[in-house]
Amino acid sequence: MLHRLRDTLGLRARVFDVAADVGGTWYWNRYPGARCDSESYFYSFSDRLSDELLEEWTWSERFAGQPEILSYLQHVAERFDLYKDIQFETEVVAAEYDESTGRWTVRTRDGNEVTATYFITAVGCLSTTNLPDFPGRDSFRGRWYHTGLWPHEGVDFTGQRVAVIGTGATGVQAIPEIAQQAEHVHVLQRTPNYDIAGGNRPMSAEDGRAIKDNYREIWRTTRETGFGFPYRTPERTALSVPDEERQRIYAEAWERGGFRLGTTFSDLLQDEAANETAAEFLRARIRDKVRDPEVAELLSPRDHPFFTKRPPLENGYYETFNRENVTLVDVREAPIQEITETGVRTADAEYEVDSIVYATGFDAMTGTLFKLGIRGRRGIGLEEKWAEGPSSYLGLTTHGFPNLFMITGPQSPSVLTNMPVAIEQHVDWITDCLRHLRDRGLDTIEPLPEAERDWVDHHNEVTETTLLPRANSWWVGANIPGKPRRLYPYVGGLDVYRQICDRIAADGYDGFALG
């Protein structure tokens, strides 16, 4: 976005980041095993940014680890001379729209302020950590860590007894690594997930070459698919094929690894019976891998359909439960009651540990937006306007907040896609929009209330055609006490969404007031 604003549009732009360097999620999430769940060659800036960058960068693994992604982002920041306009270790605490001047005033914690015509948030979707408020949490005398705020110097668990709370995508990555070091690991699981085989492996220069030679086609496909991946979902339903054929299709997707399993049939997110075939295929894989049948059953999800919570990718997670030094603890059956000075007490036992790892996720999508202290017309806060849940036009803008753009905001496809593809679509759209305003001598854009209402209605209608509302996921805000229960990302598909956004722009920004 900075590159586009500055180098494409010739605007003056300033970026604020609370971190000490670029990287966002890849700056903060340094827990052992942190790696991307999208293939590295498709989890990067596309040909929309630079063919030269695509050519010069080579990834060493099929799914890149955190350090490699961080160095990629640092390379991009250097290559495009971005550092000079980014102010690090600077937290935005207020952003207020002044109706008399038509400008935003952005205040930072160090007491400085700047004014701007346009205010763009690029705070990611998973950047405010969720630390459950267990009684006694602060009395613990050992060490504790949240995966999303991991110490830069790393943690050595050698010889320690460790409790890991949480088995989402993060816990599933961290637990096998911690188990290799620690004396003993207690995995405190509330809800088992449908973990898909990751299939990570090293990538040779030749592997990379073959992908690079095909990059044009790959990026085109990512822009034409619902999830932003370079593979398409066939127009076939799960129950329309014989059992054997269906099993073969699942097994093939499983072998290839990654999210392909979710794109094997067109109705997995809509039809419960179809979904159950994929769910049972995955439960059978758990039974294959975990020796103790009781542990295997405890690891098998029964309370929500497949892909109604974000499925983690696993590389050796299930096998970890065959180790002598790993114990699975069911904190659904016997919930955590308190953190004591020496460990964790559940309803039926006490676990004495040296360290606690909270892999307990994030206040997703709105958590960080609210921390920015955004106020629009008449001093109304975003948090106040969205007290019952987000209300936006395209997940990009919201009425009462002129010239505010939210990259991957709630009610846009965002976390239900391959994020860089969704981010680039928003950046392109905002860039075109600002160019449109400038070319016509305009400088204000704000969605009309009726256009916003129609978008929210459409968002809700599409949501109801899917199984996603069935699960207590962070996608619906269920992980944060008191958070309105709504589907936060848009599930209509990035392809459909892109067409809607393009149509609105082509129609002269239909649904917006321009001034």
Smallest separation, CB 64 to ligand N01 (Å): 9
Q: Could you tell me if residue 181 is left (phi over 0), alpha (psi between -120 and 50 degrees) or otherwise beta?
A: alpha
Which tokens sit at 213? 């030679």
Q: For ligand N01, which stretch binds (CB under 6 A), given 76-84, 169-177, 461-469, 503-511?
A: 169-177
- By beta-carbon proximity to ligand N01, the closer residue of 308 and 391 is 308
Q: For ligand N01, which stretch binds (CB under 6 A), given 170-178, 246-254, 256-264, 365-373?
A: 170-178
Position 329 contacts ligand N01 (CB under 6 A)? no
Position 310 contacts ligand N01 (CB under 6 A)? yes
Position 165 contacts ligand N01 (CB under 6 A)? yes
Asked whether the beta carbons of 172 and 195 are under 8 A apart, the reply is yes
Site for ligand N01 in 9-28 (CB under 6 A): none
Q: For ligand N01, which stretch binds (CB under 6 A), given 109-117, 159-167, 341-349, 496-504?
A: 159-167
- By beta-carbon proximity to ligand N01, the closer residue of 359 and 396 is 359
Instruction: Give the integer Cα–Cα distance in Å for 281 and 248.
Output: 10
Site for ligand N01 in 217-276 (CB under 6 A): none
List the one residue from 95, 126, 155, 434 that touches ligand N01 (CB under 6 A).
126
Position 191 contacts ligand N01 (CB under 6 A)? yes
List the one residue from 2, 13, 15, 36 that touches ligand N01 (CB under 6 A).
36
End-to-end CA distance of the chain: 23
List the one residue from 479, 488, 490, 501 that touches ligand N01 (CB under 6 A).
479
- What is the helix, strand, coil percentage profile of the chain, to 5? 40, 15, 45
CA 402 to chain centre: 26
CA 401 to chain centre: 25
The greatest distance separating any two alpha carbons of the chain, rounded to the nearest whole angstrom, comes to 70
Smallest separation, CB 229 to ligand N01 (Å): 13
- By beta-carbon proximity to ligand N01, the closer residue of 74 and 191 is 191
Of 264, 212, 176, which is closest to residue 46 (Cα–Cα)? 212
Q: For ligand N01, which stretch binds (CB under 6 A), given 112-120, 163-171, 209-217, 371-379?
A: 163-171
Position 430 contacts ligand N01 (CB under 6 A)? no
**List of residues 6+ apart from 116 with CB closer than 8 A:** 14, 103, 104, 106
- By beta-carbon proximity to ligand N01, the closer residue of 40 and 403 is 40
Instruction: Give the integer Cα–Cα distance in Å for 336 and 350.
Output: 9
Asked whether the beta carbons of 494 and 226 are under 8 A apart, the reply is yes
Of 448, 449, 463, which is closest to residue 512 (Cα–Cα)? 448
The amino acid present at 141, given as its one-letter code, is R
List the one residue from 128, 346, 360, 412 that touches ligand N01 (CB under 6 A).
360
- By beta-carbon proximity to ligand N01, the closer residue of 329 and 504 is 329
Of 247, 239, 285, which is closest to residue 266 (Cα–Cα)? 239
- By beta-carbon proximity to ligand N01, the closer residue of 125 and 268 is 125
Position 66 contacts ligand N01 (CB under 6 A)? no
Residue 482, number of CB atoms within 10 A of its CB: 5
Position 48 contacts ligand N01 (CB under 6 A)? no
Q: For the CA atoms of the chain, what is the radius of gyration?
A: 23
Return the axis-axis angle of helices 494-506 and 215-224, rounded to nearest 10°: 80
Q: For ligand N01, which stretch binds (CB under 6 A), given 48-56, 161-169, 367-375, 377-385?
A: 161-169
Smallest separation, CB 49 to ligand N01 (Å): 20
Return the axis-axis angle of helices 419-439 and 215-224, rounded to nearest 10°: 80
Residues that bind ligand N01 (CB under 6 A): 36-37, 126, 132, 165-171, 173, 190-191, 310, 331, 336, 359-362, 415, 474, 479
